[in-house]
Amino acid sequence: MNPAFVPRLINGPFGDPGLYIQLRWEGRAVLFDLGHNDSFPAGDLCRASHVCVSHCHMDHFIGFDRLLRVFLGRDQTLWLCGPPGILDCVEGKLRGYTWNLVDGYGFSLEVAEVWPDSIRRAVFRAASGFRREPLPTQPFHGLVVDEPAFCIRAAHLDHRIYSMAFAFEEKSHLNVDSAYLARLGVPPGPWLSALKNALRRGEPDVVTATWQENGHDRSRDFSLGEVRGALVKETHGQKFAYVVDTLFSPENAERIAALAQGADVFFCESPFLDADEDQATRRYHLTAKQAGLLGRSAHARELRVFHFSPRYAGRAEELYREAQASFCGEQSEAGALTSAGK
Ligand SMILES: [Zn+2]
Ligand SMILES: [Zn+2]
């Protein structure tokens, strides 16, 4: 399978958490969390169309400033969601600067504050000095982004505040048969994204491929009926789950298992070793063993742990080993989930 979405962590395991999912065929990306991101290429950061923030503890939100700086001169709207309180946190960040010379700028930030039953929204436009302009509230039923190619689900977890967990799901994976395309003499290009979106929506019925050949403009029309099952074949889509900063409680475990069910990759924090479980529980964080159990109960294909506590500097292998052993069921786990939150 030729993956449409490529995930990568923003930092190493001891760095601030953050996940970047590249949408390969659309030239854009989705970003999870805004921890320290100074070493992440600006050219990649500026491709983000959606940003999902788990919560506004400093290690998850300090990178907002760099994101803002990268986007400021761009004539586009960036969408950002987060837990209850995110509107005030974004506004507070924006109020920390002077905006008297940006009235000609086209950049705006649309913020969605996700409560358990509703999404409160506002837009902050550079042209108006980033004044908060309320937008209509929407109901929340688990979905924060719903696009033709993918959706993002969210769940509220307990971190002594709300911490949002997210699942990024490709709706269905559409594979282009490149040999078939080559036989038609049509080169791949952005029109393939338009074609896939048309297949997902069921319209428009005809998509036109355009390209240059020997200095001449060429084009060819493709009808959806012609390409379905021939040029484009449908397979199971990708799924990535992102879980950080949460208590190992039965309620959280249940929500995470439901959200991350069947994920191809389950990205999960694991700041502590099992030996320091009491400390993890006091801080409303997970241990590596608990991360493994959560990945296992979600039937994830792969577990990738990160957000290690600096107390284990030089001991990353121990955290990886403990998480993988638990994920693979190599440790005694009897009653581990039922005794969660003890
Ligand atoms: Zn954190
Ligand atoms: Zn936190």
One DSSP character per residue, 150-209 reads: EEEEEEEEESSSEEEEEEEEES-EEEE-HHHHHHHT----THHHHHHHHHHHT--SEEEE
Residue 309 has pLDDT above 90, yes or no: yes
31: Cβ contacts below 8 Å, ≥ 6 apart = 18, 19, 20, 21, 45, 48, 50, 51, 52, 67
Return the higher-pLDDT residue of 228 and 97. Answer: 97
Residue 337 lies in a domain: no
CA angle 177–179–183, rounded 5-degree value: 120
**What is the distance in A from the centroid of ligand 1 to the CA of 47?**
24
**What is the distance in A from the centroid of ligand 2 to the CA of 123?**
26
Residue listed under structure tokens 């493994």:
292
Residue 304 has pLDDT above 70, yes or no: yes
Q: What is the mean pLDDT of residues 190-209?
A: 88
Residue 144 has pLDDT above 90, yes or no: yes
Can you tell me the distance from the alpha carbon of 43 to that of 309, in angstroms, rounded to the nearest whole number? Answer: 29
Q: Assign 331 a pLDDT band (cuts: 50, 70, 90).
A: low
**How confident is the model at residue 236, as a pLDDT?**
83
**What is the distance in A from the centroid of ligand 1 to the CA of 5?**
25
| Alpha carbon 269 to chain centroid, angstroms | 15
Q: Assign 197 a pLDDT band (cuts: 50, 70, 90).
A: confident
**What is the distance in A from the centroid of ligand 2 to the CA of 271?**
11
**What is the distance in A from the centroid of ligand 2 to the CA of 197?**
37
| Of residues 127, 26, 18, the one with CA closest to residue 72 | 127
Q: What is each CA distance from 92 to 30, 79, 95, 112, 147, in whole angstroms? A: 23, 17, 5, 15, 30
214: Cβ contacts below 8 Å, ≥ 6 apart = none
Ligand nearest to the CA of 62: 1
**What is the distance in A from the centroid of ligand 1 to the CA of 238?**
26
Say if residues 54 and 163 touch (Cβ distance below 8 Å).
yes
Per-state percent for the chain, helix, strand, coil, to nearest 5: 30, 35, 40
Helix-then-strand count for the chain, H and E: 11, 18
Residue 342 has pLDDT above 70, yes or no: no
Q: Are residues 112 and 58 in the same domain?
A: yes
Q: Are residues 281 and 144 in the same domain?
A: yes
**Structural domain harbouring 29:** 5-171+238-324
Of 235, 252, 283, the position where a domain reaches its end is 235
Ligand nearest to the CA of 270: 1
Q: Are residues 136 and 84 in the same domain?
A: yes
Residue 145 lies in a domain: yes
Return the higher-pLDDT residue of 153 and 237. Answer: 153
**What is the distance in A from the centroid of ligand 2 to the CA of 221?**
51
**What is the distance in A from the centroid of ligand 2 to the CA of 142?**
21
Residue 193 lies in a domain: yes
* Helix 316-327 / helix 288-297 crossing angle, nearest 10 deg: 30
For all residues of the chain together, what is the average pLDDT?
93
**How confident is the model at residue 337, as a pLDDT?**
52
Q: What is the mean pLDDT of residues 26-55?
A: 96
Residue 194 has pLDDT above 80, yes or no: yes
Structural domains of the chain, count: 2
Task: Give 27: exposed, middle or buried? Use CB within 10 Å, 0-12, 13-18, 19+.
Answer: exposed
Q: Are residues 28 and 138 in the same domain?
A: yes
Report pLDDT digits (tens) over 77-94. Answer: 999 999 999 999 999 999
**What is the distance in A from the centroid of ligand 2 to the CA of 266?**
19
Return residues with CB closer than 5 A to ligand 2 (ion): 57, 245
Residue 105 lies in a domain: yes
Of the chain, the percentage scoring pLDDT greater than 90 comes to 81
Residue 334 lies in a domain: no
Report pLDDT digits (tens) over 43-74. Answer: 999 999 999 999 999 999 999 999 999 999 99
**What is the distance in A from the centroid of ligand 2 to the CA of 91?**
20
Of 235, 252, 273, the position where a domain reaches its end is 235
Q: Are residues 133 and 100 in the same domain?
A: yes
**What is the distance in A from the centroid of ligand 1 to the CA of 299?**
24
Q: Are residues 136 and 247 in the same domain?
A: yes
**What is the distance in A from the centroid of ligand 2 to the CA of 245?**
5
Return the higher-pLDDT residue of 307 and 200. Answer: 307
**What is the distance in A from the centroid of ligand 2 to the CA of 153?**
20
Compute how many other C-beta atoms are within 10 angstroms of the C-beta atom of residue 259.
21
Q: What is the mean pLDDT of residues 115-129?
A: 97
**How confident is the model at residue 47, as a pLDDT?**
97
Q: Assign 25 a pLDDT band (cuts: 50, 70, 90).
A: confident
Residue 195 lies in a domain: yes
